[in-house]
Each structure stands twice: as structure tokens, then as C-alpha cells.
Amino acid sequence: MTPVLEARNIHFGYRRNQEVLTDVSFAVEEGSNVGLVGESGAGKTTLLRILLGLAIPSAGQVFSDGMPFDARDRKQLRAYRRMTQTVFQDPYSSLDPRQTIGQILAEPLRSLGITTNATEIRQHMAESLRAVGLPTDITKRYPAEFSGGQRQRIAIARAIAPNPRVLLADEPVSALDVSTRIKVIDLLAELGRGVDGRTGMSVVLVTHDLGVVAALCDRVVILENGRVVEQGDTRSVMGLPQNGYTKRLLASVPRLPVVP
Amino acid sequence: MSENPGLIVRDLEIFSADGQTLVGPVSFDFNPGQRLGLIGESGSGKSLAALAIIGLLPDGLSSRGSIELGGRQLVGAPERIMNTVRGTDVAVVFQEPLTALDPLMRIGKQLAEPLRRRAAADGERLTRQQLRLLVRERLADVRLPDPDAIALAFPHQISGGQRQRAALAIALSGRPSLLIADEPTTALDVTVQSEILDLLDRLVDERGMSLLFISHDLAVVARIAPRVVVLQKGLVVEEGMLADVLANPRHAYTHELVDSARSLDNALDDALNGRDA
């Protein structure tokens, strides 16, 4: 099957400096969730920017449905944006405080040319709010009236409103409280599978948290200093890590004591 | 360490400028040399409680109740007293070492100042040479590689983990009997977090210090403190041995915290054992 999104031999470097990404390749199959794992400086954010079309690789290519994607081509970028939406780490800074929830949710529908019809926009909004487990009557309220977990749900609702096939999530739960975290992870897992008659999508999760990857991702890509050191099925990579860095990463995760 | 007093917090309340109660009344205590984990989410008041203990509440906030450290009452103590308490009796390591360190001062100099003050308090006068050696020793204590180079570096020139080690060296420079660590590893990478937790564990042990470890992460607290107090919205909702709390949370909120931590831990367990989640 042609992957819905694929990075092939991606390199990225700033002029005269050491490369930030070196020969990074991985594929996102339709409906499967992929975790991009690494610590600070691993190149996660740069890779995400490239996958979003916000940065151009110095070598290598992103493919969408098997077709090379050129972020400099405005027409391609527009089509790509309908297919690929994103959720950021901090729901306090990713939602415009002066816009109502309704304005926030309608924005991508209009700007991506999905619909300008008021009735259709209302339908889309209601559908995505229902999908993230929020009441549909909050569209006149402002982000400040909501908690961190609720705001992240609103950000997810905005991302899924145009029915993307890929959701790129950058540390979507690390700014949230522990008790909220698991609910948002469950929500992402549900959206990946498809709920309420929505088709499922692929979630690409950029994170440093292996617990979150284990809970959500079928596949995992381990990045160290801009290189892929290991990738594969989550349970084989984590169950039988081959690379020294992967092993060290796994051994470092704080664990709960075993309770009899 | 001459004496190693415990900490007794009784009915501590913290108020905002307009008289709202932000924390409390909360009570907890621990004996000399013991460790206590203070667990809560954002807004639970755990950091405010820590700031009240060291007498550094933000402007406008006030506290009432009793905080006794080694038999000395800290609530309402004059600034002159608090100045000697801070550093010599109790010291803090914060989440973000960049805010704790002076960006314009070399690491060595930031460490030399409290070392000199501590020596002066003990009636010693250190020569520059002695001070330089002491700085180097203290940086080596927190397992910083190449202490001479680190001493000459500015905070932005070293990594996040190295900064947190330097902040720890500064906190320990006055040989405090109580160390408060407020989310000391939250901003760090997981491999670095693991190293810092090991280091804290060993230093607290070697020096017989008491440790108040503040965190939102049960798994992190489990590595370092056997007993915990759970705060929610400024109030203590549960306390006990961590193992008991994990096995048998009584309060609904603790239940939620434990379930959440447990489900991520189980997912990790399944993956590590090559099982499908």
C-alpha cells in the first residue's frame, strides 16, 4: 500500500552549520499511528516543520500518497494542508484568546476552501466538537473560559474539522496535567480508529514520552542527533531494542513500583 | 551538619492580596533525614507551600499558621532571620535552572558567593585559592565533568542537565539540612532526568539531608520518596506511604491520578514485553 505520508532521505542543515537532520526516512501508512521519539536536539521539531511544509529539506523529499510534495508550490501546499493538520504542545498559546471557539473552528474550513456556507460550517463544527467530547453549544465562548485539557480538545477539534487524513501532534499532552493527559491520549487513539461515523486517520506523534508512544502508536521512530537510530513496530522496538541509545532511553523512563 | 531538624507544617494557609485563600489549611511533617513527596497538579498549591517554607512568597501573598524547621518558627520570622535560614537550613532547587542562575555571572562565581558566606557564618575566612578549590570540589560533587571549565562558563554555555547540576551545587553549598526540590527534572530529557534523580538520591543519602520533593509525576516521586502528601486545590486530600497510596487510593482525586499514571505504565509494560496494547 502506498503510504499516506512518507519522508525519504531527508537532510536539513542551516548554512555552514552541522546538519540538524541526516538521512531521515520513515513512512506513515493509512490509519496507523507513528511516534517520532527523541530528546532535545534530536531534530524532532525540524522534522515536524518539514512534514508541515513550513521548512524545505536541503536534500530528500516528502511524499504524500506517493507523489512528491513541494511546499513551495502554493497549490500543492493548499491540498496538502487539507490532508494534514496539526496540534501543538501548548493549548494556552495555540488558540487566539480574542477569537470565540466558533471563529477558531471555522477558520480552517474557510481558509482551506472547504466551505463558506454557514449551515455547513455549523455542521462541521458540531461534528468535530462531538468527536472530541465537548458540548456543541460552546461556540460563542472564549478559550480563557476553558481548562488546559479542554483547550487541547478545542485545538484537536480545530485540527480535525477539515477531515484531515493525517494529524501531526507535537507533544500534545506534555503541557497537560497527568489526570488530563490520559483522556487526551484516549481521544487521539479513538480519532485514529475513527469514531461516530468519522473515518479514522493517522496520528503522527512527536514526543519524548515513551509511555505515550506505547499507549498510542503502532510504529515508532527513534531519533538521536538528527539520525534515525532505530524504527519499527512499537512492541518489537520497545520489546527488543537493538540500538544502544534506544536501550538507554527505555531504561531511563521512571516506572511505578509493582503493587502486589 | 550539627543538628538536622525536621519540618513541621501546621495549618499553613496562604492568601492572595485580596484575601482569597490559595492554600490550606495544610499540615504535614517529617523527621530529620526523611523524604516526603508533595504531589499535585498545576494550581494545587504545592509550589506556593514550598515558597512559604523558605519565606519567598511572591509580593502581596501572605501566610498564616506554623512552619517549624528544627524548632524554629518561620512564619512571620523577620527577614534578617530568614536570610540565614535560607541556604544554611533550607535550600531549593527549582524546575528551571535558567531562572535560578544569573545569566550574566560565571557558574564558579555564583557558587563561590554562598560558599564564602557559609564559611563566614562558621567564622572562617577563605583565601581566593581556597575558595577556588572549594568551588571545584563542589562542582565535582554533583558529577559535573571538567569542573574547571564549568566554573568559567556562563549558564547559557552549558546543557540543561549541567545547569541543573550547577543549581544543585549552589543549593547544597550552604550545607542545608532540608532540601526542597520543586519539579527539578520536569524540564529535562528523560535520560538526564534519570541521572539527576540518581544524583539527588545519593547526595541526600550521603549528607543525611531531609528532602521535600515536589512533583506532579507519581513515577518520578516513586524513585525518590517513600512517603507522599497529595494536594488538590490547596488542600491535602491524602497522605501515606506511596506503595499504599498506589495500591489503595482513598480519595477520588488520588484515584484519578493513580489510574492515569497506571494506564501509561501498563501500556509501557505491554510494549516492553512485546505485547499488543
What are the residue boundaries of the structural domains of chain B, listed by start?
7-272
**CATH architecture of structural domain B7-272:** 3-Layer(aba) Sandwich (3.40)
Scanning A200-219 for CB atoms below 8 A from B yields 208-215
Residue A167 forms beta bridges with which residues?
A85, A203
Scanning A180-199 for CB atoms below 8 A from B yields 181-182, 185
Which cell numbers hold the place of A129? 466538537
- Per-residue pLDDT tens digits of chain A, which is 260 residues long: 789 999 999 999 987 778 899 999 999 998 899 999 998 888 988 999 999 999 999 999 999 999 999 989 989 998 898 899 999 888 888 899 999 999 999 999 988 888 888 899 999 899 889 888 889 999 999 998 888 888 888 999 999 888 899 999 998 888 777 777 888 888 888 888 877 667 789 999 998 889 889 999 999 999 999 999 999 999 999 999 999 999 999 999 988 887 66
Q: Which residues of B touch A148 (CB under 8 A)?
A: 42
Nearest Cα of chain A lies from the Cα of B78 at a distance, in angstroms, of 36
Question: Is this structure's pTM higher than 0.80?
Answer: yes
Nearest Cα of chain A lies from the Cα of B207 at a distance, in angstroms, of 24
CB pairs under 8 A between A and B: 110
Question: Cβ contact (<8 Å) for B189 and A40?
Answer: yes
> Within chain B, where are the H helices?
46-53, 79-88, 97-100, 107-121, 128-141, 147-152, 160-172, 190-207, 218-222, 242-247, 252-272
What's the pLDDT tens digit per position in A176-227? Answer: 777 778 888 888 888 888 776 677 899 999 988 898 899 999 999 999 999 9
Residue of B nearest to A260 (CA): B247
Residue A137: partners with Cβ closer than 8 Å, 6 or more residues away = none
Q: Residue ranges of the domains in chain A?
A: 5-91+164-251
Give me the residue label for grid cell 487510593.
Answer: B249
Residue B251 forms beta bridges with which residues?
none
Question: Cβ contact (<8 Å) for A40 and B243?
Answer: no
B interface toward A at CB cutoff 8 Å? 41-42, 160, 189-194, 197, 216-220, 222-223, 242-243, 246-247, 253, 256-257, 259-265, 267-268, 270-277
Scanning A75-94 for CB atoms below 8 A from B yields none
Residue B88: partners with Cβ closer than 8 Å, 6 or more residues away = B118, B121, B174, B175, B176
Residue of B nearest to A185 (CA): B264
What is the Cα–Cα distance from B211 to B188, expressed in whole angstroms?
20
Residue of A nearest to B195 (CA): A252
Fold category of A5-91+164-251 in CATH: Rossmann fold (3.40.50)
What is the Cα–Cα distance from B3 to A244, expressed in whole angstroms?
45
The packing angle between helices A148-160 and A178-193, to 10°, is: 20
CB-CB contact of B9 with B28 (8 Å):
yes
